[in-house]
């Protein structure tokens, strides 16, 4: 791609809203597409973000806004990470320096940002259900607006999308489904539907033959009865013979395409045709993820979600430091799988994000990528366990929410030996509230048979993985954050941990902090602050969230010292709640316990540090809360230092 200097946006600088597109020629639209790509490449080189997905939908988004009338017409972007072009065209270009920053522009569709953002999502496969709901609402209100859903071929593998397709085809409402087919979700797609779409992509004869047959049938004057039925059966037979689009037509949608998603003329023609058809239409658009930026075209997986980078070389700028917890998980799983051939890895379309690419190279036959299908992955894992294997289900905390029923019904109820490797536990930074892993403790800990652990550092993560795979009496969950490790010394020989036993990592007689995961560092920072005031705080690594260390908790009750519980998770129903429940159920109503975690609200995008500060997970706040819990005599002594 030719890189122009900033300020050379001949057309883009004059686009303040979708109405400014209406008078452009096709040639000008194509020039505008190039300017938008240049703008995105430059801006994201500083902020980072979802570069490859957005470069792939430039022409498609332009055509939608050119032909239709947002916000009257509803555009629903599946996941929403490919909505940057939509944001540019709807008056938010001047805010791109704040993309994914604290109090800045969201990296996803955000209803509070613009009237043009009508549906929010950070998880896949929701767009078709939302589109159907909006089409039904439109008709019930007697309105005439269009509803357009843009969904990727990866998201189409999600069960919810197929459920929606079934309903859409049955109701026959007017709506347009744009299938943005780039052969990718984040990682390369898998599954039968992916292969079906691949077959369509290579079939160049179907649409021509279908159109010619329709033209021929239309010329037959006043055919009736048996002849008409015969002709229609012949037409259907040709569809089956030529394969293309038949699945969608059998669902009840009119299939149009495939079309080159970067050819403005073809796109405009096909979208106009789709708009003229009664009932639901599926427009199959072939795009190139990362289009226009050669590094992103060459490796769209790497450039799906990019950090800041150097434009000319494509070199991503990453902080140097210890490996991330995800990397430690991946390397340790290989190490354990070398010693136990029963170990298999399962992922719902996230082999790279979950640190499993090297595992897949080493054990291709023991690596199972099911596509975007978290529920299926969970039940599949249960069945693998019942057949004597050791399934490790690697999944982001935010995506495990989607498999809640299967976790309860198929895994825990049957006490299946499944290991959950729950990545991105806690705040995740720039992706914001759709991706935070702050609810899994609350929705997992009340389910019988399940053990839940969280490590204080990367070496303890390794030991927890050994513990989980040695355990033979039911499911085990290990949750870990989206941050770098601490750089601690790794044990050469992995030894399991005693189930349900916590460890005291700092002695003290003034008060007690129970902390999990990265909150151990916050506990140490707090203890250092209070030490200057003459207060010695005991810190306990509560590494087992379930079961609790009951013996230790009973000892703390006898001591009667104030207890602060730190967790980067929901205060409602979280780890701190389990401590309160423990004392309440045993009639110990006088134990002073204060929970400091994430309050009952959604925390938006920003850095993890900014998110922690917003909710009060800071040393100053924790120290102040703890001092307020001390008896008056200790408070006075502290204030004299």
- The alpha carbon torsion through 516, 520, 522, 525 (nearest 10 deg) reads 160
CA distance 305 to 593: 41
Please answer whether residues 85 and 93 qualify as being in contact, where contact means their C-beta atoms are separated by less than 8 angstroms.
no
- Which of 543, 525, 360 is CA-nearest to residue 468? 543
Q: Quote the CA–CA distance of 426 and 324 in Å, as a whole number.
A: 14
In degrees to the nearest 10, what's the CA dihedral of 554, 559, 562, 566? -40
391 close to 357: Cβ distance less than 8 angstroms: no
**Long-range contacts formed by 7-11: CB under 8 A, 24+ apart:** 8/35, 8/38, 9/35, 9/38, 9/39, 10/35, 11/35
Report the distance separating Cα 566 and Cα 545, nearest Å. 12
Question: Which residues make Cβ contacts (< 8 Å) with residue 494, sequence separation at least 6?
Answer: 332, 335, 336, 462, 463, 465, 466
Nearest CA-CA partner of 90 in 73, 479, 100: 73
- Residue 373 and residue 400 in contact, taking contact as beta carbons nearer than 8 Å: no
- CA contacts within 13 A on the Cβ side of 388: 2
CA distance 572 to 263: 51
At residue 176, φ and ψ (nearest 5 deg) are -115, 125
Q: Which of 35, 120, 183, 374 is catalytic?
A: 374
The residue whose two tokens read 């997992």 is: 444
Report DSSP state, residue 496: P
Question: Annotated catalytic, 302?
Answer: no
Which residues, at least 6 apart from 113, have a Cβ–Cβ distance to it below 8 Å? Answer: 87, 92, 105, 106
DSSP-derived pairing of the beta strands 503-506 and 537-541: antiparallel
Answer whether 428's CB lies under 8 Å from 454's CB.
no
Instruction: Give me the DSSP letters along 176-222.
Output: EEEEEE-SBSSSBP-SHHHHHHHHHHT--SHHHHHHHHHHHHHHSTT
Taking the C-alpha atoms of residue 208 and residue 216, their distance in angstroms, rounded to an integer, is: 12
Give the integer Cα–Cα distance in Å for 149 and 79.
11
Q: What's the rounded Cα separation, in Å, for the pair 58 and 296?
A: 14
Closest CA to 449 of 475, 488, 431, 478: 475
Classify residue 4 by its DSSP letter.
Answer: P
Q: Which is the catalytic residue, given 37, 87, 173, 402?
A: 402
345: closest CA among 465, 435, 497?
465
Peptide bond into 71 cis (omega under 30): yes
DSSP string of 578-597, one letter each residue:
HHHHHHHHTT-TT--EEEEE
Give me the catalytic one of 173, 210, 289, 463. Answer: 289
Q: Is 466 a catalytic residue?
A: no
For the question of residue 374 being annotated catalytic, the response is yes
Helix (H) / strand (E) element for 38: namely helix 26-47
Q: Which residues are catalytic?
A: 289, 374, 402
């Amino acid at each position: 791609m030719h890189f122009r200097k900033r300020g050379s946006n001949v057309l883009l600088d004059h686009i303040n809203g979708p109405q400014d597109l209406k008078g452009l020629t096709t040639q000008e639209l194509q020039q505008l597409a190039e300017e938008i790509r240049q703008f995105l490449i430059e801006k994201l080189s500083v902020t980072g973000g979802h570069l490859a997905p957005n470069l792939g939908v430039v022409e498609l988004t332009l055509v939608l806004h050119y032909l239709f009338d947002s916000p009257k017409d509803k555009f629903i972007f599946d996941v929403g990470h490919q909505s940057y072009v939509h944001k540019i065209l709807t008056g938010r270009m001047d805010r791109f320096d704040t993309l994914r920053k604290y109090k800045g522009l969201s990296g996803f569709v955000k209803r509070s940002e613009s009237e043009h953002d009508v549906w929010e999502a950070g998880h896949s496969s929701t767009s078709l259900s939302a589109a159907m709901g909006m089409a039904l609402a439109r008709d019930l209100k007697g309105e005439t607006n269009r509803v357009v859903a843009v969904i990727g071929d990866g998201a189409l593998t999600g069960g919810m999308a197929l459920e929606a397709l079934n309903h859409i085809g049955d109701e026959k409402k007017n709506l347009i489904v744009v299938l943005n087919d780039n052969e990718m979700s984040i990682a390369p797609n898998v599954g039968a539907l992916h292969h079906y779409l691949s077959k369509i992509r290579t079939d160049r004869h179907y649409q021509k033959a279908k159109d010619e047959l329709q033209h021929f049938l239309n010329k037959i004057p006043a055919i009736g009865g048996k002849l008409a039925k015969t002709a229609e059966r012949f037409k259907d037979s040709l569809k089956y013979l030529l394969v293309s689009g038949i699945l969608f037509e059998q669902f009840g949608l009119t299939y149009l395409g495939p079309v080159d998603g970067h050819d403005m003329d073809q796109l405009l023609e096909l979208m106009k045709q789709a708009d003229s058809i009664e009932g639901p239409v599926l427009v199959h658009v072939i795009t190139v993820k990362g289009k226009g930026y050669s590094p992103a075209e060459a490796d769209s997986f790497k450039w799906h979600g990019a950090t800041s980078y150097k434009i000319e070389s494509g070199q991503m700028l990453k902080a140097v430091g210890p490996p991330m917890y995800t990397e430690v998980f991946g390397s340790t799983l290989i190490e354990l799988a070398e010693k136990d051939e029963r170990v298999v890895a399962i992922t719902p379309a996230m082999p790279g994000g979950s640190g499993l690419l090297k595992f897949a190279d080493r054990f291709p036959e023991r690596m199972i990528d099911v596509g975007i299908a978290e529920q299926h992955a969970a039940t599949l894992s249960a069945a693998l366990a019942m057949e004597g294997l050791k399934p490790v289900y690697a999944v982001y905390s935010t995506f495990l929410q989607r498999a809640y029923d299967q976790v309860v019904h198929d895994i825990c109820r049957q006490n299946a030996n499944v290991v959950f490797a729950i990545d991105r536990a806690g705040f995740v930074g720039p992706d914001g509230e759709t991706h935070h892993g702050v609810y899994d403790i609350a929705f997992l800990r009340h389910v019988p048979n399940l053990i839940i652990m969280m490590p204080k550092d990367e070496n303890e993560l390794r030991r927890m993985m050994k513990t989980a795979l040695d355990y033979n009496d039911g499911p085990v969950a290990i949750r870990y954050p989206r941050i770098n490790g601490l750089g601690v010394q790794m044990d050469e020989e992995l030894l399991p941990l005693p189930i349900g036993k916590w460890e005291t990592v700092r002695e003290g007689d003034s008060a007690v902090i129970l902390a999990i995961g990265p909150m151990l560092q916050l506990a140490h920072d707090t203890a250092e602050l209070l030490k200057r005031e003459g207060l010695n705080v005991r810190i306990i690594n509560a590494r087992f969230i379930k079961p609790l260390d009951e013996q230790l908790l009973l000892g703390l009750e006898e001591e009667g010292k104030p207890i602060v519980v730190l967790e980067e998770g929901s205060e409602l129903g979280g780890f701190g709640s389990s401590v309160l429940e423990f004392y309440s159920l045993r009639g110990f109503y006088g134990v002073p316990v204060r929970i400091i975690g994430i309050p009952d609200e959604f925390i938006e995008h920003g850095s993890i540090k900014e998110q922690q500060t917003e909710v009060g997970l800071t040393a100053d706040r924790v120290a102040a809360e703890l001092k307020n819990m001390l008896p008056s005599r200790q408070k006075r002594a502290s204030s004299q230092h």
